[in-house]
Amino acid sequence: MNRSMKYIDDFRDPATAKALVERIRRDAGDAPIRLMEVCGTHTVAIARGGIRPLLSGAVAMLSGPGCPVCVTPDGYIDAAIALGRERGALLASFGDMLRVPGKSSSLEKEKGNGLEVRVVYSPLDAVTLAAATPDREVVFLGVGFETTAPAIGGAIRTAAERGVGNFSVLSSVRTIPEAMGVLAADPEVRIEGFLCPAHVSVVIGSDAYRPIARRYGIPCVVAGFEPLDILLGISMLLRQKREGVARVENEYSRVATSTGNRKAQDLIRDVFVPCDTGWRGIGVIRGSGLRIADRYASFDAEVKFDAPVVFAPEASACRCGDVLKGKILPVDCPLFGKGCVPEEPYGPCMVSGEGTCAAFFKYGA
């Protein structure tokens, strides 16, 4: 571990950071370039590193929809609560989901009222839980992107192999490139460059962003999550802009490749099939969801309990949708810091540790 920590230090070196900031400022044009970091982990790293004010005037960093908790629609939470309340299911979830508001309640509030929710750290833990409680139906709340999909798929395959019939998944798995396409096409957002996620790209490969670069003429750079990764990624986007090109580049080549992790991709293809799905604040995006394939239908909670997740967004003062699309900054939302704070979140962007509003609130970006 010691050697690896020294390795991480190389990506946090203050002198290199300073040089990169100077290069970004030199390369910047008159108006700030509008770049979007798609992934919530980038959003947090940028806020934690104090990077946004460091680049003010040169670069406007917009935060994208890449926090899975934030984009999960309230109908999903309601469906999960109903499975627990009406079907007596034992719910297993990642901890971040607990405080996400549904239409009228959250898993945390319902837990206080007796709903059984177990926090797990891996989907496989939920299979183990099901095997240990054969008289209960265990439903795992499968929320995530391409990074989490292989783990959820692996859990489903494990349950199938071991014959754990009381295990199922309420899937809310989404894919990033489709959401990026919608944002790229939105004239209100006006994205001039995408800082593409590190971990997602390890799975899907940097080639996955090629259609976006080609079709919309928007430069894409895959970047790691360390401060220097982010600064170098931004600098690479600026260089593309200056050269007038739009291609996919990979700053995170120490881990992510152009083709990604084939094994994980095969696992996803085996267990899931693409579907249209609703994103909180954005709407339905074609082909951006992963539902459980028919051959694993007995592990699909929506099929098993005949309880489909309904996507029916309601109008409210919460502007998470515009925050998720990068149209406004959290501070421009009328609820931010008033009716919506981390202890009492109103919108999903304030709930998750990776939410844009939470990052702005916590680190004062």
Partner 1 sequence: MHDKILLSHGEGGKRTRDLIARVIARYFDNPVLSPLFDAGLLGRIGGEIAFTTDGYVVTPPFFPGGDIGRLAVCGTVNDLAVCGAKAVAISCGLILEEGLPMDTLERALAAMRDAAKEAEVTIACGDTKVVERGKGDGIFITTAGVGVSADGWRPAPSEIRPGDRIVLTGSMGDHQVAVLVARRNLALDAPVLSDVAPLGGLLLPLLPRFSGKVRFMRDPTRGGVGVTLNEMASAANARFVLDEARLPVRESVRGVCEILGFDPLYLANEGKAVLIVAGDAAEALVAALREHPYGREATIIGEVREGGSGVRMRTLAGGVRAVDYPVGDQLPRIC
* Residue 49 contacts partner 1 per CB under 8 A: yes
* Residue 315 contacts partner 1 per CB under 8 A: no
* Residue 53 contacts partner 1 per CB under 8 A: yes
* Residue 1 contacts partner 1 per CB under 8 A: yes
Q: Any idea of the CA torsion for 202, 260, 64, 224, to the nearest 10 degrees?
A: 40
Shortest CB 359 distance to partner 1, Å: 10
Which of 24, 47, 81, 323 is the binder for partner 1 (CB under 8 A)?
47
Which of 4, 113, 244, 338 is the binder for partner 1 (CB under 8 A)?
4
**Cβ proximity of 192 and 28 under 8 Å:** no
Question: Which x/- pattern, by CB under 8 A, does the window 335-364 give for partner 1?
Answer: -------xx---------xx------xxxx
- The nearer residue to partner 1, 169 or 213, going by C-beta atoms, is 169
Q: For residues 220 and 64, what is the distance between their CA atoms, to the nearest angstrom? A: 14
Question: Which x/- pattern, by CB under 8 A, does the window 106-135 give for partner 1?
Answer: ---------------x--------------
Question: What kind and span of H or E run contains 81?
Answer: helix 74-87
**Cβ proximity of 270 and 241 under 8 Å:** no
> Which residues lie across from 290 on neighbouring strands?
173, 274
Which of 10, 18, 132, 254 is the binder for partner 1 (CB under 8 A)?
18
Q: For residues 250 and 179, what is the distance between their CA atoms, to the nearest angstrom? A: 20
Shortest CB 244 distance to partner 1, Å: 29
Q: Any idea of the CA torsion for 140, 99, 174, 39, to the nearest 10 degrees?
A: -130
* Residue 51 contacts partner 1 per CB under 8 A: yes
Closest CA to 90 of 6, 168, 180, 204: 168
Shortest CB 17 distance to partner 1, Å: 5
Which of 94, 279, 296, 299 is the binder for partner 1 (CB under 8 A)?
94
Question: Which x/- pattern, by CB under 8 A, does the window 272-291 give for partner 1?
Answer: --------------------
What lies within 8 Å, CB to CB, of 338 at 6+ separation is none
Q: What is the DSSP annotation of 173-202? A: EE-HHHHHHHHHH-TTT---EEEE-HHHHH
Residue 30 DSSP code: S
b or e along 52-66 (b: 16 or more beta carbons within 10 Å of the residue's beta carbon)?
bebbeebbbbbbbbb
Which of 8, 161, 187, 315 is the binder for partner 1 (CB under 8 A)?
8
- The nearer residue to partner 1, 22 or 294, going by C-beta atoms, is 22
What lies within 8 Å, CB to CB, of 68 at 6+ separation is 40, 143, 144, 145, 148, 172, 174
Which of 14, 114, 163, 187 is the binder for partner 1 (CB under 8 A)?
14
* Residue 139 contacts partner 1 per CB under 8 A: no
Which of 69, 246, 301, 318 is the binder for partner 1 (CB under 8 A)?
69
Interface segment toward partner 1; rule CB under 8 A; list 13-21, 233-241, 246-254, 285-293: 13-21
Shortest CB 276 distance to partner 1, Å: 21
- The nearer residue to partner 1, 166 or 289, going by C-beta atoms, is 289
* Residue 38 contacts partner 1 per CB under 8 A: no
Q: For residues 249 and 251, what is the distance between their CA atoms, to the nearest angstrom? A: 7
- The nearer residue to partner 1, 279 or 305, going by C-beta atoms, is 279
Q: For residues 354 and 365, what is the distance between their CA atoms, to the nearest angstrom? A: 14
Question: What kind and span of H or E run contains 220?
Answer: strand 220-222
Place of tokens 């001039």: 192
Place of tokens 């409210």: 316
Instruction: Give, as ranges, the residues between 177 and 236 that touch partner 1 (CB under 8 A).
Output: 199-200, 227-228, 231
Binding residues for partner 1, rule: CB under 8 A, are 1-2, 4-6, 8, 12-14, 17-18, 21, 40-41, 47-54, 67-69, 94-96, 99, 121, 143-145, 147-148, 199-200, 227-228, 231, 342-343, 353-354, 361-365
